Amino acid sequence: MDSILRYFLPVYLIVYFAAAFFWRSYLVWKKTGINPYKLGKTGDAHDFVGMLFRLTLAAIALVVMLYSISNEAYQYLTPIHWLEQSVLMLLGIGLLLVSLIWTLIAQAQMGNSWRIC
C-alpha cells in the first residue's frame, strides 16, 4: 500500500493543482479577460492570508515530494505511524478523490465569478 501512495500522491497533487487552480483560472480568463488570481503583495491582512495560503500549498508539495522520493527524509517530518494502516490509507485516497470532484463541481457552479482571492 505504501508503494501505491508514493506514486498516487504526487500524481494526485499535480492533477489537483492543474484542475482546481490552473484550468479554472484559464477558463475564467478566456471567458472574461479578467485574471482570477487576486492575491497581492501588499501589507494588508487579505494579502497576508494569501501568503499563508501559498506557503501551505508549498509545504504540502514539499511533504508529498519527500514522502515519494525518500522514506529516510520523510521520517524527519515525524509521521504518525498509527495512521499508516491500509484501511486508513484507502479511506484517505477515497476522500482525496471525493474532494477533487467536490472542488471541481463547486468551481463549475461559481462560473465566471471564481477567483483566487
Q: How confident is the model at residue 40, as a pLDDT?
A: 72
Q: How confident is the model at residue 43, as a pLDDT?
A: 75
The amino acid sitting at 65 is M
| CA dihedral sign of residues 74, 75, 76, 77 | positive
Q: How confident is the model at residue 13, as a pLDDT?
A: 94
Q: How confident is the model at residue 11, as a pLDDT?
A: 94
Per the structure, the count of domains in the chain is 1
* Backbone phi and psi for residue 33, each to the nearest 5 degrees, phi listed first: 75, 5
Label residue 84 left, alpha or beta by phi (over 0 means left) and psi (-120 to 50 means alpha): alpha
Q: How confident is the model at residue 117, as a pLDDT?
A: 60
Q: How confident is the model at residue 68, as a pLDDT?
A: 87
Quickly count helices (H) and strands (E) in the chain: 5, 0
What count of other Cβ atoms lies within 10 Å of the Cβ of residue 110? 13
Q: If the chain, 117 residues long, is cut into consecutive pieces of 10 residues, what is the mean pLDDT of each piece?
A: 84 92 85 77 79 90 89 80 86 94 90 72
C-alpha cell at position 94: 477515497
